[in-house]
Amino acid sequence: MDIIFGRNKKEQREPVRATVTGKIPSWLQGILLRNGPGMHTVGETRYNHWFDGLALLHSFTIRDGEVYYRSKYLRSDTYNSNVEANRIVVSEFGTMAYPDPCKNIFSKAFSYLSHTIPDFTDNCLINIMRCGEDFYATTETNYIRKINPQTLETLEKVDYRKYVAVNLATSHPHYDAAGNVLNIGTSIVDKGKTKYVIFKIPATVPGAGKKGQKPLKHTEVFCSITARSLLSPSYYHSFGITENYIIFLEQPFRMDILKMATAYIRGVSWASCLAFHGEDKTYIHIIDQRTRKPMLTKFYMDPMVIFHHVNAYEEDGCLLFDVIAYGDSSLYQLFYLANLNQNFKDNSRLTSVPTLKRFAVPLHVDKNAEVGSNLIKLPSTTARALKEKDDQVYCQPELLLEGLELPRINYAHNGKWYRYVFAAEVQWSPIPTKIIKYDVLTKSSLKWGEEHCWPAEPLFVPTPGARDEDDGIILSAIVSTDPQKLPFLLVLDARTFTELARASVDVEMHLDLHGLFIPDADWGTGTHPSREEQDGASDRHVAPQT
């Protein structure tokens, strides 16, 4: 597995032209921009966890049936400090670093104090966020890095704390029809409280063309939820949204702030301070966007770990939300690089298979309903919400499908009724082997797979003017465990899941995490390589793959 996980990837700083087999739809013009870990060793030092690796951005620029590939490491402060020292000197979540092991006891004590409430890394390796006309590489700390989507150059460093009091924030924001950004972060022991803060960044602001007028400066707190535990807030990776509500799951996968405060001096990673409490509950917080206040009813479900919300919508007085759920935290443990070795198959058994689950929450609880009665009367789902004493409601899911992760949808249906989930198929191993299209209405699925191929998150791009939800194409960057097989961009017909084209590139491509597609309609052709760049692009054409 070293070819996929442990080996540092060489960046492709200048665009290289791919060899296209099949035919890319003529309307598909734009940039597929992706992010993920690409460097796992610096000098003689090595990261402990795959999610700690230094961020490597890469892009596929699609123009007139041709594809150009390039990749660059994010020149974060973390990257620059590590490369300058020729070793890991900035801590990541799974790897605690010590800048100078030769420091005396007084210097070590000072370093300990500075790590009590740590200044986290700006190694933004998880996703790409759009904010107005700007694009940012993101992670789950308080830092994001502005990037140029055309050249992949790293621009300014942004600290969320200048605009909203959060120490952590998700890499999965939501966007409304106007392009406004809605996200959530954790404020740790601020003014005696630990809170989950939902904040909004406007897409545009008055005088946006003037110097210094950036949307981030107009960030506002939309709502906040007090954590159930001051010193053990929940970990979360995403959240849900509908037209009128926000869904936040406070799960029993929690960070121990006191342990984090002493992790540096104890010589352990921050990840070791994260634990799953299977005896606890997962609490469902529903926030009304119109009042900006949480619902008073206490909804809860069984203990579980959820990284990805799929979608949510409202139906006949109920709120339905779909998530990929695990029964424990084994997924995170499996991605320690010590497990991703030649004994990978023996080490990679998940103790809980990722499962697509649908939950239903009544938006108005009948106080006269009997204890133990099911408050969900929808014919469209078997999900249940059982009334309990003390105004509590226990939510039980409908199990839709096992064995999928990295879900995406047609984002035009985000927060609304929808039918299709596009995802990577996984089973008892966390590694994707196929791409799946799942129909939540008929419970049927279509799949694409090829021997030795590992697909990235499948991203849906709608056909211009499309009326049907699945009228469009699927894009996925494919890497291979076979050294003789080149990586490629896969283009599928989203309706039939047949392959339309692939664009093979003779480069070292990494397995990425998340990203987005920027259509020309949003930018004009300025995002493409210039004619000069195209003329100078490497012509490492390859023979068509069979």
Question: Of 517, 507, 500, nearest to 21 (Cα)?
Answer: 500
Taking CA atoms, 227 is separated from 68, 197, 230, 302, in Å, by: 46, 10, 6, 18
Region 195-217: what's the mean pLDDT? 82
Q: Which of 111-115, 181-185, 347-351, 533-537 has the highest mean pLDDT?
A: 181-185
DSSP, collapsed to helix, strand or coil, labels residue 215 as: helix
Question: How confident is the model at residue 545, as a pLDDT?
Answer: 34
pLDDT for residue 348 is more than 70: no
Top pLDDT among 54 and 264 is at: 54
Helix (H) or strand (E) holding 264: helix 257-266
Q: For residues 6-40, b (16+ Cβ closer than 10 Å) or e, as one string?
A: bebbebbeebbbbbbbeebbeebbbbbbbbbbbbb
- Check whether 536 has a pLDDT greater than 60: no
For the chain, the average pLDDT equals: 89
Tokens of 450: 């090829």
Q: Could you read off the pLDDT of 294-333 as tens digits, one per residue? A: 999 999 999 999 999 999 999 999 999 999 999 999 888 8
Say if CB 334 and CB 307 are below 8 A apart.
no
| 463 — pLDDT class (breaks 50, 70, 90) | very high
Largest CA distance in the chain: 73
- 80-119 pLDDT, tens digit per residue, is 999 999 999 998 888 988 765 554 444 444 444 444 455 7
For residues 225 and 254, the answer to whether their CB atoms sit within 8 Å is no
Question: What is the mean pLDDT of the segment spanning 32-44?
Answer: 96
Q: Which residue has the higher pLDDT, 109 or 545?
A: 109
Give the number of other CB atoms < 10 A from CB of residue 451. Answer: 9
**Does pLDDT of 255 surpass 50?**
yes
Per-residue model confidence (pLDDT) at position 361: 98
**Per-position DSSP letters for 348-411, written without gaps between them:** ---SS--EEEEEEEESS--TTSPTT-B----TT---EEEE-STTEEEEE-EEEEESEEEEE--G
When pLDDT is cut at 50, 70 and 90, the band that residue 141 belongs to is very high
CA distance 451 to 436: 15
**24-33, 113-122, 430-439, 493-502: which range is least confident on average?**
113-122
Tens of pLDDT, residues 383-428: 999 999 888 999 999 999 999 999 999 999 999 999 999 999 986 5
Rounded Cα–Cα distance for residues 398 and 360 (Å): 9
Does the annotation flag 277 for ligand binding?
Answer: no
CA pair distance 518, 69, nearest whole angstrom: 15
Per-residue pLDDT, averaged over 471-494, amounts to: 95
Phi, psi of 174 (to 5 degrees): -110, 155
Q: Could you tell me which of 186, 56, 76, 208 has the C-alpha nearest to residue 131?
A: 208
Residue boundaries of the structural domains of the chain: 2-539
Identify the burial level of 192 via C-beta atoms within 10 angstroms of its C-beta, where 0-12 means exposed, 13-18 middle and 19 or more buried. Answer: exposed
Rounded Cα distance between 111 and 539, Å, is 50
pLDDT one-digit tens code per residue, 263-301:
888 888 888 889 999 999 999 999 999 999 999 999 999
Residue 546 above 50 pLDDT?
A: no
Model pLDDT, residue 332: 83
Q: Does 309 count as an annotated binding residue?
A: no
